[in-house]
Amino acid sequence: MTTSRNNPIALITGGSRGLGRSMALHLAERGTDILFTYRAAVAEANDLIGRIHALGRKAVALQLDVADSASFDAFGHAVATELERSFGRKNFDYLVNNAGTSLHASIAETTAAQLDEIYSVHFKAPFLLTQRLLPLIADGGRIVNISSGLARMTLPGSSAYGAMKAAVETLTRYMAKELGERRITANVIAPGAIETDFSGGMVRDNPEVNQRIASMTALGRVGLPDDVGGAVAMLLAPESGWINAQRIEVSGGMGL
């Protein structure tokens, strides 16, 4: 298998909304075809497909709940089917493990069920889903795992989430090492606070929280989805092929 020089294909989990949507559009603008997952947002997924088609690129949406690792084998078969049917390929080039949920609870308040869910979504899923998709990733391809500034900074109520993202950052280095013989790179993008509907839109819709984060950030504002979407597209550009096993924080200089 070799990476296609024309029309590379990216698979983005959680692509229908927020950061994943921005990643998909930025990559499509740069000539990448998109295969993305959604959990329940069917209308948003269909809208994104239309937007990508308008950019002259192909797009396919597949339903996936990343918390359900028992579904990953069937999902892998669905990906292989769509690659051949919709793209005329047996492999894809870029995997972006983006799908996630939030949790705000102190260590004292976090329940075992909450911890299990955060583990399932933010560590178990990137590990096992990448494992399942490895036969479908082209040699010379790229993996981008999405972490968080909270793996570096400590804010009350984010212990479980931040710890799982820190685990993903360690996992990424192991991916880079073990997949190097196939010339597959693995890197981390770690967003800071971004204006999306994540955490119930807390950063976007709460002026007090928005201003407090802006005051903690060197560039004086909170992040926007396109800040992250553009960074992922940059990391997946042909010129970035020698970047490997790195953590790139996209936070505007938050918490320096």
Structure confidence at residue 2 (pLDDT)? 41
Q: At residue 97, does pLDDT exceed 70?
A: yes
Domain boundaries along the sequence of the chain: 9-250
Is residue 32 a contact partner of residue 168, using CB atoms and an 8 Å limit?
A: no
Cα separation of 107 and 160, whole Å? Answer: 8
> Got the DSSP string for 206-217?
-HHHHHHHHHTB
The overall average pLDDT reported for the chain is 94
* Residue 119 a catalytic site member: no
Collect all residues with Cβ–Cβ distance below 8 Å to 206 and sequence separation of at least 6.
none
| Mean pLDDT calculated for residue range 99-121 | 96
- Contacts of residue 205, defined as CB under 8 A and 6 or more positions apart, other chains included, come to none
The predicted model gives 133-144 an average pLDDT of 98
CB under 8 A, 24+ apart: contacts of 201-207: none
Mean pLDDT of 92-112: 96
Question: pLDDT at position 213, please?
Answer: 87
**Residue corresponding to tokens 């770690």:** 190
pLDDT for 4 equals: 43
DSSP single-letter state for residue 182? G
Residue 211: how many CA atoms within 13 Å on its side-chain side?
3
- For tokens 């509907």, the residue is 197
Q: What is the mean pLDDT of residues 123-141?
A: 98
Q: Which tops the pLDDT comparison, 64 or 199?
A: 64
Among residues 38, 94, 119, 161, the one annotated as catalytic is 161
Confidence of residue 1 (pLDDT cuts 50, 70, 90): very low
pLDDT digits (tens, 9 = 90+) for 181-226: 999 999 999 999 888 665 555 666 567 788 888 999 999 999 999 9
The CATH number that domain 9-250 falls under is 3.40.50.720
Where are the strands (E) in the chain, listed by range?
A: 9-12, 33-38, 59-63, 92-97, 137-146, 185-191, 247-250
Residue 201 has a pLDDT of 55
